[in-house]
């Protein structure tokens, strides 16, 4: 069923009509008529009127989950930050559609709520992933919630900025910048996987009994991983 030509026609008809008359003033019959199919057919291809606007979310969620599962990162934050890039990439790949949806969602409260619910699903996925990862450590559930919320918040902030700018700049730089806040906030709360160094990065830098210069370098590296405002 994915990517059938009729799905495409329906989506195009819908966006055109939403653009011309607005979301509420457009009925499913209108959409079907413009696409040259029957109302029944519409509901065979989209579960609801809203679904025309928010497609592929399930597939994307699955992709993100797969990425998490395959992650080789040493900490949960890093794994999740890595995974959230997929989401942004998805928006950027379909910039045209994303922008159109953004404009529409800004006007229709029902759609806004729906979008928020979608985002919450990613957040939940992240939360559960992190909770599993951290399982056993103190306040695991709480930290998982905070991490997931922060990563999603960082993503949202960058995405909104990109959308407001009508997709004119590359958003991955800003995303990395934003995620740096999150990573530096949470990374030191975790023990990196595999190694049995019960300490944070900073301390590890000092463990290697190196020259002061080496120490300084390590520390600088640590600092470079921080958000600029902190330097």
Partner DNA sequence: CGCTCAGAAGATACTCAGTCCCATCGCGTC
Partner DNA sequence: GACGCGATGGGACTGAGTATCTTCTGAGCG
Q: Which of 162, 178, 183, 187 binds its own copies (CB under 8 A)?
A: 178
Residue 19 engages DNA in binding (rule: CB under 7 A) = no
Segment interacting with its own copies, rule: CB under 8 A, options 3-11, 21-29, 68-76, 221-229: 221-229
Give Cα 9 to chain centroid, integer Å. 28
Helices and strands, counts by H and E, the chain: 11, 0
Residues 28-67 that bind DNA (CB under 7 A): 28-29, 36-41, 43-45, 47-50
Nearer to its own copies, 60 or 182 (CB): 182
CA 176 – CA 193 distance, rounded (Å): 22
DSSP, collapsed to helix, strand or coil, labels residue 223 as helix
Nearer to its own copies, 55 or 227 (CB): 227
For the chain, the residue count is 231
Nearer to its own copies, 49 or 114 (CB): 114
Residue 15 engages DNA in binding (rule: CB under 7 A) = no
Residue 85 engages DNA in binding (rule: CB under 7 A) = no
Residues 127-156 that bind its own copies (CB under 8 A): 137-139, 141-143, 145-146, 148-150, 152-154, 156
Q: ∠66-85-58 over CA atoms, to 5°?
A: 50
Residues 155-184 that bind DNA (CB under 7 A): none
Give the helix ranges, DSSP H, for 165-211. 172-186, 201-207
Region of residue 138 (left: phi > 0; alpha: psi -120 to 50; beta: else): beta
Instruction: Supply 24's token pair.
Output: 């509420």
Task: Answer yes or no: are the C-beta atoms of 93 and 171 closer than 8 Å.
Answer: no
CA 226 – CA 231 distance, rounded (Å): 7
Contact residues for its own copies, defined by CB under 8 A? 112-114, 116-117, 120, 137-139, 141-143, 145-146, 148-150, 152-154, 156-157, 161, 177-178, 181-182, 185, 188-189, 200, 202-203, 206, 211-212, 215-216, 219-220, 223, 226-231
Contact residues for DNA, defined by CB under 7 A? 1, 4, 6, 26-29, 36-41, 43-45, 47-50
């Amino acid at each position: 069923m994915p990517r059938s030509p009729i799905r495409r026609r329906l989506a195009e008809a819908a966006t055109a009509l939403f653009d011309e008359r607005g979301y509420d003033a457009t009925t499913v019959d209108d959409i079907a008529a413009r696409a040259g199919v029957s109302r029944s057919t519409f509901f065979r291809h989209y579960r609801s009127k809203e679904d025309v606007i928010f497609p592929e979310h399930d597939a994307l969620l699955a992709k993100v989950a797969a990425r998490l599962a395959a992650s080789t990162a040493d900490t949960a934050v890093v794994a999740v930050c890595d995974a959230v890039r997929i989401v942004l990439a998805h928006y950027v790949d379909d910039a045209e559609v994303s922008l159109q949806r953004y404009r529409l969602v800004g006007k229709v409260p029902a759609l806004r709520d729906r979008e928020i619910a979608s985002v919450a699903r990613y957040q939940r996925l992240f939360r559960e992933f992190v909770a599993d990862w951290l399982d056993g450590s103190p306040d695991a559930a709480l930290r998982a919630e905070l991490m997931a919320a922060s990563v999603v918040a960082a993503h949202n902030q960058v995405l909104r900025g990109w959308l407001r700018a009508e997709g004119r700049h590359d958003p991955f730089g800003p995303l990395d910048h934003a995620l740096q806040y999150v990573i530096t906030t949470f990374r030191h709360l975790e023990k990196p996987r595999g190694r049995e160094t019960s300490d944070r990065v900073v301390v590890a830098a000092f463990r290697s009994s190196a020259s002061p210069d080496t120490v300084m370098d390590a520390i600088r590296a640590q600092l470079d991983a921080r958000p600029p405002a902190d330097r």
